[in-house]
Chains A and B, each alone.
Chain A
Amino acid sequence: MSDRTNLPVYAPLGVGRLQGDRTFPAAAKIALADGQLRSNLRSATATIRAKRANVVGEVADWEELRRAGEAIKASTMASLDTLLIELERNVVANGGAVHWARDAAEANRIVTGLVQATGAKQVVKVKSMVTQEIGLNEALAAAGIEAFETDLAELIIQLGHDEPSHILVPAIHRNRAQIREIFLQEMPGVDRSISDEPAVLAGEARRYLRKKFLETKVAISGANFAVADTGTLTVVESEGNGRMCLTLPDTLITVMGIEKLVPTWTDLEVFFQLLPRSSTGERMNPYTSTWTGVTPGDGPQSFHLVLLDNGRTATLADEVGRQALHCIRCSACLNVCPVYERTGGHAYGSTYPGPIGAILSPQLTGLTGDGVNDSLPYASTLCGACFDVCPVRIDIPSILVDLRARHVEAAKAASRIPSGERLAMAGVGWAMAGEKRWQLAQRGAGVLRHSTRRTTIRRLPWPLSRWTASRDLAKPPVQTFRQWWATEHEDPS
């Protein structure tokens, strides 16, 4: 048994949504061809970037808050076992129940069982990434339980039989005309005369969902934070659908990744400042709810907390990569990422898109050397914009570089037959490790001069054809710098 627990246990594939069905470059190619998507993404990311920069700029101690946030999360990870036990004790002491799930399938079984025990056939849901990660709605549906998403964007996604494409604004890839169309096609009892004005569409969603809130007895939420020393849970939101779900039903089931913990109540003062400004670019989001267990006479009288691993302990075991667990899901890294801005979230294939997804998804599922998620760490130019905006200073570029190394090492271990890239890298590396060999290689490159009479090279064989498809390549010069230096600067004797 002890041997087993020492090996990292990754999230199982085939349940939930942590890996897509095609590699990032293949999925990106499809997204890049969608002009509507690209123009929506461009204006959306630019708008949120500007809002964020504005409200972050007015906080004089922003860097101090970032460093505090980083350290609180790192110290949380260092004693995660004892803090989770403390959280459990405090939740139970305040009338809640705590359940533990090794993976997505187990979490789904637990939640389904809890809903079935109430006899409910319907649940309302607060926007929650972790329940998307584990595929909870599908699991509930298989048990004959209908789950209603209540966040406006999630409702649009659910009605449109679609997938979210952004952490914060999941329906960012849809415009108002498309949303109106989805409502007309899919929303029961819709007013068929509605226009595509955002206020009108939001009003129609309010009307539709209010009925659900008033009649549904079970709610399912995620959590933005949990506080170990008090047992307090937190949901941060804008629309009030979260408050509805956390207040009106008789039973509340909260599913939470084990990393979403902070040690003390006052630690939250740091994150309540970092999160809204980084996320929506607001000084504070419209609504935040905190609750501790059950409050007699106020809100759900039955509360269950499900603590989920699903690959998180495997991530935690990596000294470099464990920082990814510090993420507070603000999505600032998405909005500044030049890759995300062009491809959108679907290209990442996982619940977690953008730069954070590129380091989180492959760590949760594991790098196998040939898996789809193996392509994610390469979906970055390492431009560094994500680190600069991260409210908890996750060094995403360094983790990407580390994951690439882990991937190459995994591929090497998996196959004794080296890939063309591996041979080329080894060959170039060997040549560059000695000056004589390198000079010979430089002469070899010079041969390219004679490949064309033009001043630039316009066509190269695969894989460099992927460069010359859209870009010329300069021809190597007549003389390398080192040859010139030898004639100009070196003493001929």
Chain B
Amino acid sequence: MTQLDHNEVTAPRITAALFATCLADTMFPDVAKATVTVLERLGVRVEFPQAQTCCGQMHINSGYQRDALALIEHFVETFEQYEHIVLPSASCAGSIRHQHGMVARRLGKPALAARADAIARRTREFSEFLTDVLKVTDVDAYFPHRVTYHPTCHSLRMLHVGDKPLRLLRAVRGIELIELPAADQCCGFGGTFAVKNADTSTAMLADKMANVLGTKAEICSAADASCLMHIGGGLSRLTSGVRTMHLAEILASTESGETHGVSVRPSRQTSNPGSGNDV
């Protein structure tokens, strides 16, 4: 069903359902809050379907497709009624777009697969939603800090977002954006890979952190809280002073600093994305 609010005078107002993702909801609420802040600033009516839980990516990528099937079904039922679904995670968006239908088909649920495919076409990662649906790159943000951006594997190679996040960041007032060397290389997270292949994961992370530290950035940003949890966890262990912030958190920042309770001032204290209200 369409929730577009047609109005003769003003532009039609878009309603979007926010899929916060289980990780941001539980561990990094500031990422989801910042997503709401930006969307509302741009005039989007944000809905948060209360029934939402998880897209099932971790189960799918760990081989537990039968357990994931219930999550896919739950996701489809929760979000099927919405015209636009937006989420602050490239890898969850990738799972919804490329895996939900595939898993349902593999487990003999063609009807569910067809419904999942239809939702997949209406699901967009945060930066895609801003640039492709809302057609904006300047979201009126202010962030006077030195930032480097890790483009994340699933942003680049599953969603093909290209330079959309960077276009959004370049439009932020006051920002000093430093190019990250070997940006397209994986940080070594990979979900359960980080635990099952901890040594290899750590070796990959070490190289990613060396590249981040080489930029002398205050902030390492990305479009995925999970990659940032990994990079931030490593930077924190090094007590490097570099902190991680989700793309949405930077775009939510303004001169007045008024966002939904997010502290936009980078602290010396290293922490993971969205640690603002943790301090």
How many Å from the CB of B16 to the closest CB on chain A? 13
* A385 to B22 Cα, complex, angstroms: 26
1/0 contact string of A470-488 vs chain B (CB within 8 Å): 1111111111111011001
A456-B197 contact given A402-B106, A429-B70, A476-B27, CB 8 Å threshold: no
A435 and B50 in contact (CB under 8 A), knowing A32-B203, A381-B189, A456-B272? yes
Stretch from A62-70, A168-176, A245-253, A337-345 forming part of the interface with B: A337-345
Residues of A within 8 A of B200 (CB): 25, 28, 32, 339, 342-343, 379
Closest to A38 in B: B203
Contact partner of A470 (CB less than 8 A), chosen from B29, B202, B271, is B202
- The answer for the CA separation of A111 and B27 in the assembled complex, in Å, is 61
Interface size class for chain A?
35 or more
Q: Which of A425, A434, A474, A477 contacts B229 (CB 8 A)?
A: A474
Our pick among B46, B71, B195 for the contact of A433 (Cβ within 8 Å) is: B71
Residues of A within 8 A of B165 (CB): none
Q: Is the CB of A429 within 8 A of B194?
A: no
- Residue A387 lies at the interface, judged by CB distance under 8 Å to chain B: yes
CB distance from B154 to the nearest CB of A (A): 7
Q: Is the CB of A481 within 8 A of B64?
A: no
A408, closest chain B residue (CB): B63
Given A338-B185, A408-B64, A467-B194, are A484 and B199 also a contact pair (CB < 8 Å)?
no
Q: A383-B186, A432-B54, A455-B269 are in contact. Are A472 and B233 (CB under 8 A)?
A: yes
Residue among B27, B65, B261 with max Cβ neighbours from chain A (10 Å): B27
Classify the secondary structure of B's interface with A: helix
Chain A residues, Cβ within 8 Å of B68 = 429
> Do A484 and B33 touch (CB < 8 A)?
yes
Q: In the complex the two chains form, is A455's CB within 8 Å of B54's CB?
A: no
Which B residue's beta carbon lies closest to that of A445?
A: B26
With A474-B271, A488-B260 in contact, do A25 and B199 touch (Cβ < 8 Å)?
A: yes
B25 and A24 contacting across the interface, CB-CB below 8 Å:
no
- On chain B, the residues within 8 Å of A378 by CB distance are 192-193, 196-197
Cα distance A38–B229 in the bound complex, in angstroms:
26
- By a CB distance below 8 angstroms, the chain B residues around A379 are 197, 200
B263 at the interface (CB under 8 A from A): no
Q: Does A210 contact B (CB under 8 A)?
A: no
Q: Report the nearest B residue to A441, measured CB to CB.
A: B26
Report the contact-size class of chain B (Cβ under 8 Å from the partner): 35 or more
- Choice from B67, B193, B278, B279 contacting A380 with Cβ under 8 Å: B193
B230 surroundings in chain A (CB, below 8 A): 471
With contacts A388-B157, A469-B198 known, is A474 near B28, CB below 8 A? Answer: yes
Q: Map CB proximity to B onto A323-353 as digits: 1 under 8 Å, 0 otherwise.
A: 0000000000000001100110000000000
Q: Does A384 contact B (CB under 8 A)?
A: yes
Select one of B25, B53, B71, B229 contacting A481, CB under 8 A.
Answer: B25
Decide yes or no: A401 and B199 within 8 Å by CB, A388-B157, A442-B25, A482-B48 being known contacts.
no
Which residues of B are found within 8 Å of A343, using beta-carbon distances?
Answer: 200
Tell me if A's interface is mostly helix, strand, loop or mixed.
helix
Whether A383 pairs with B25 at a CB distance below 8 angstroms is no
User: Per a CB cutoff under 8 Å, which of B52, B197, B269 touches A435?
Assistant: B52
Could you say which residues of chain B place their CB within 8 Å of the CB of A458?
A: 237
Query: Min CB distance, A19 to chain B, in Å?
Result: 18
Docked-complex contact A32 and B199, CB < 8 angstroms = yes
Most A CB atoms within 10 A — which of B64, B68, B278? B64
Checking A38, A407, A434, A470 against B198 with a beta-carbon cut-off of 8 angstroms, the contacting residue is A470
- Residue A480 contacts which of B25, B71, B191 (CB distance < 8 angstroms)? B25
Chain B residues, CB < 8 A from A467: 194-195, 198, 233
Contact across chains for B48 and A425 when beta carbons are under 8 A apart = no
Contact call B26/A474, Cβ cutoff below 8 A = no
Closest CB in chain A relative to B243 CB, distance in Å: 11
A383 to B158: give the CA distance in the assembly, Å: 9
Contacts of B25 in A (CB 8 A): 442, 480-482
Contacts of A480 in B (CB 8 A): 25-26, 29
Q: Is the CB of B237 within 8 A of A472?
A: yes
> Which chain B residues border A214 with CB–CB below 8 Å?
none
Give the complex CA separation of A73 and B16 in angstroms.
43
* A426 CB contacts on chain B under 8 angstroms: 64, 67
A186 to chain B, nearest CB (A): 32
Residue in chain A with minimal CB distance to B52: A435
A373 → chain B closest CB, angstroms: 15
**Contact assessment for A381 and B193 in the assembled complex, using a CB-CB cutoff below 8 Å:** yes
Kindly state whether residue B116 has any CB partner on chain A within 8 Å: no
CB of A489 within 8 A of chain B? yes
Q: Across the interface, which residues of B come within 8 angstroms of A482, CB to CB? A: 20, 25, 48, 50
Q: Is the CB of B190 within 8 A of A382?
A: yes
**What B residues does A388 contact at CB under 8 A?**
157
Name which of A383, A429, A463, A466 has the most chain B CB atoms within 10 A of its CB: A383
A404 touches B63 (CB 8 A): yes
Distance (whole angstroms) from the CB of B99 to the closest CB of chain A:
7
Asked whether A383 and B205 contact (CB < 8 A) given A433-B53, A481-B29, the answer is no
A positions within 8 Å CB-CB of B: 24-25, 28-29, 32, 38, 320, 338-339, 342-343, 378-385, 387-388, 398, 401-402, 404-409, 421-422, 425-426, 428-430, 432-435, 438, 442, 445, 455-456, 458, 463-464, 466-467, 469-482, 484-485, 488-489
Interface on B for A, CB 8 Å cutoff? 20, 22, 24-30, 32-33, 36, 46, 48, 50-54, 56, 58-68, 70-71, 73-74, 98-99, 102, 106, 153-154, 156-158, 184-186, 188-205, 229-230, 232-234, 236-237, 260-261, 269, 271-275, 277-279
Known: A24-B197, A29-B199, A435-B53. 9 other contacts (CB 8 A): A32-B200, A32-B203, A342-B203, A381-B186, A409-B66, A430-B70, A472-B236, A479-B277, A481-B33
Q: Can you list 16 residue pairs at the A/B interface with Cβ under 8 Å?
A: A25-B197, A338-B188, A378-B192, A384-B156, A384-B158, A385-B153, A425-B62, A432-B71, A432-B74, A434-B53, A455-B269, A466-B196, A469-B198, A471-B205, A484-B29, A484-B261
